[in-house]
Amino acid sequence: MCGTNRCQTACRCTVNSLFVGKITAVAKSNKGSTAVLKPGENPGKIVDIDVSNEMSDSFLEYAYSVIYSRALPDARDGLKPVQRRILHQMNEMGLRPDKGHVKCARVVGDVMGKLHPHGDGAIYDALVRMAQSFSMRLPMIDGHGNFGSLDAGPAAMRYTEARLATAALLMVDESDEDTVDFGPNYDGQLVEPQVLPAAIPNLLVNGTTGIAVGMATNMAPHNLGEVIAATKALIENPKITLKGLMKFVPAPDFPTGGYIFDPQGIDEAYKSGRGNFKVRATVEIEKISSRKMGLVITELPFNIGPEKIVEKIADLVKGKKIQGISDIVDLSDGQNGTKVVVEIKNGYEPGEVLENLYRLTPMEDAFSINAVALVNGKPQTLGLKELLQVFIDHRIEVVRRRSEFRKAKAQNRLNLVDGLLKAIIDIDKVIKLIRGSEDAQVAKAGLMKSFKLSDEQATYILDMPLRRLTKMSKVELETEQTALKKSISELTALLKSEDSIKTKVAAELDEIQKNFATPRRTKIAS
């Protein structure tokens, strides 16, 4: 402890010096007046600053950073910044499903160096989770190697390999068609998407979890087919009730299966964004030998591994807190999934033992939904209908911007094709004119005058290699011209009507449902 005035002065100086780098600081002069100091002014001078205000401001900045840049997902694409950056950068690296796997260390290095300067551990953890079939209802990463299990972590990133899964293309495709806004990366040298186009309601399909400062989020995964069906129903009828939507999405659908035996809290969760329900393991009572019955556990609650169950049951038996169990064997593996066999002693009722296991072990687990996500840059707690509506609004905007981009691209190409059709009539004259010109400007002026071309059309013809120019086919150009005009007409009609855009969104969702929907895994108790 500091006991002397000298020590107290030294301590005060040390504290004050910590905040010399503040953007603005107030210094007291000898005459009692105050002056605003800027960074770099009077280097080495100790400036008195109110520590409580400084700590308050700094903590607030930290809280904002965690909330917006790390812990909470965007309600539109359902991704946290690190997940979005991984998918975007892997797409930029060309790691698509038809390409080979590359070392995860290479992916992590690219993401960290270009977009996410928060450490390789956090990036690799996020990448691994997106590859785990027991964590994601629709995995986004196609992993090769040991990506862990419910009871054990993954191998080091230098041993594992990855590429984008087919489902990930639904998230990243069309990002190069001006469908989303881009912003500067952490050092301003590159740009990154602020949100992905996201052709599926990913936040509901895969769920998420995150702990920010002063708030947290925990969202359950759902069945893709059910969520898309509810989305299409909301598009067709914006006034549909929550009860009507729950006919399509009755409850979450966990990748590990199990069954929801206490669904009362789901209604409240879908209404307000907060609610609790209980999930139980799937267990069959079977005859495991000629004389003994047993419990065969094939599915466990979300994020519960078989080793944890085996250890818990063993501890209960040793502590004599549960009776009637003679043996327990874990037959789980990566190929066949979960299989834990609990042998029941003769004279005991398997059903009673099972109820005790539900009561005393994680074979029965509670799941709390806290649907907090960023909407227009602000954290909000959202119910089922609100979550679906945010996605629909986002997707409508994506389709509109995509259509405008494609229309402009088609119009530019049509302009060039029109110019080529004018020039192809007398290709020999074009070649002669170009060869007889002193420079490119003279040649361009000659083409514009002789064939009534625009500046853009003439420039395109001049820049075209001679071998391509001589091989031009009038029939091919006319066919392309007709196709472009048809495309422009269709896109113009689409952009004129909001209902047409909604119909387009619904049609694309229907196609995704046909290709990616899978049967429900988590059963619901009646």
Co-location of 86 and 45 in the same domain? no
The tens digit of pLDDT for each residue in 99-117 reads 999 999 999 999 999 999 8
How far CA 169 is from CA of 94, 141, 199, 523, in Å, comes to 12, 10, 9, 29
Q: How far, in Å, CA of 485 to CA of 489, rounded?
A: 6
Query: Does 343 have pLDDT greater than 80?
Result: yes
Question: Given a cut of 80, is residue 4 above it in pLDDT?
Answer: no
The verdict on 39 and 91 lying in the same domain is no
> Does 463 reside within a domain?
yes
Do 44 and 86 belong together in one domain?
A: no
Residue 309 has pLDDT above 50, yes or no: yes
Would you call 380 helix, strand, or coil by DSSP?
Answer: strand
64 among known catalytic residues:
no
Binned at pLDDT 50, 70 and 90, residue 25 comes out as very low
3 state SS for 310-348: HHHHHHHHHCCCCCCEEEEEECCECCCECCEEEEECCCC
Sheet holding 325-330, edge to edge: 282-287, 293-299, 340-344, 325-330
Q: Are residues 411 and 452 in the same domain?
A: yes
User: Would you say how long the chain is, in residues?
Assistant: 526
336 shares a domain with 416: no
Q: Which domain holds residue 17?
A: 5-49
Provide the pLDDT confidence category of residue 399 given band limits of 50, 70 and 90: very high
Burial label, 333 (beta-carbon count in 10 A; 0-12, 13-18, 19+): exposed
- The mean-pLDDT minimum among 268-272, 387-391, 436-440 falls in 436-440
Domain termination site, one of 334, 362, 390: 362
* CATH number for the domain that contains residue 154: 3.90.199.10
Give the model's pLDDT for residue 424.
84
Q: Which of 10-24, 189-203, 207-221 has the lowest mean pLDDT?
A: 10-24
Cβ atoms of 218 and 369 closer than 8 Å: yes
Are the C-beta atoms of 496 and 503 separated by less than 8 Å?
no
Q: 34-43, 107-116, 195-204: lowest mean pLDDT where?
A: 34-43
Q: How far is CA 277 from CA 48, 418, 519, 525, in A?
A: 54, 64, 22, 12
Average pLDDT over residues 260-288: 92
Model confidence at 46: pLDDT above 80? no
Tokens encoding 374: 């960023």
Kindly write down the DSSP assignment for every residue of 349-376, as one continuous string.
-HHHHHHHHHHHSTTEEEEEEE-EEEET
Mean pLDDT of the chain: 88
Distance CA 410, CA 406 (A): 6
Give the type of residue at 241.
T
pLDDT, residue 36, reads 56
Three-state SS for 16? Answer: helix
**Is residue 43 in a domain?**
yes
Side chain identity at 314, as an amino acid letter? A
Please report, for the domain that includes residue 348, its CATH number: 3.30.1360.40
Q: Is 89 in the same domain as 155?
A: yes
Give the count of domains, the chain.
4
Q: Are residues 353 and 415 in the same domain?
A: no
CA terminus-to-terminus distance, the chain:
66
The tokens describing 501, both together, are 């855009």
Select which of 62, 64, 68, 159 is catalytic: 159
Q: Report residue 27's pLDDT band, with 50, 70 and 90 as the boundaries.
A: very low
Q: Give the rounded percent of residues in the chain with a pLDDT score beyond 90.
A: 71
DSSP assignment of 29-61 equals: -TTS-EEEEPTTSSTT------HHHHHHHHHHH
Q: Which amino acid is at 201?
A: P
Residue 311 lies in a domain: yes
CB atoms within 10 A of CB 36: 9
144 beta partners: 161
Amino acid of residue 463: D
Q: Tell me the pLDDT tens digit for each residue of 49-82.
A: 788 887 877 777 767 667 767 789 999 999 999 9
Domain boundary among 171, 190, 206: 171
Examine the domain organization and report whether 100 and 143 are in the same domain: yes
Q: Is residue 460 part of a domain?
A: yes
Are 420 and 461 in contact by the 8 Å Cβ rule? The answer is yes
Judged against a pLDDT cut of 70, whether residue 40 lies above it is answered with no
Query: Residue 526: what pLDDT?
Result: 72
User: Would residue 190 be called left, alpha or beta, if left means φ above 0 and alpha means ψ between -120 and 50 degrees?
Assistant: beta
Q: Which residue has the tokens 């806004």?
A: 181
Residue where the block lists tokens 């069906």: 229
CATH number of the structural domain spanning residue 419:
1.10.268.10
Structural domain includes residue 56? no
236-240: Cβ within 8 A, 24+ apart: 236/506, 240/385
Asked if residues 196 and 80 have their Cβ atoms less than 8 Å apart, the reply is no
Q: Is residue 76 part of a domain?
A: no
Q: Which residue has the higher pLDDT, 52 or 284?
A: 284
In a domain, 309, yes or no: yes
Domain annotation covers residue 26: yes
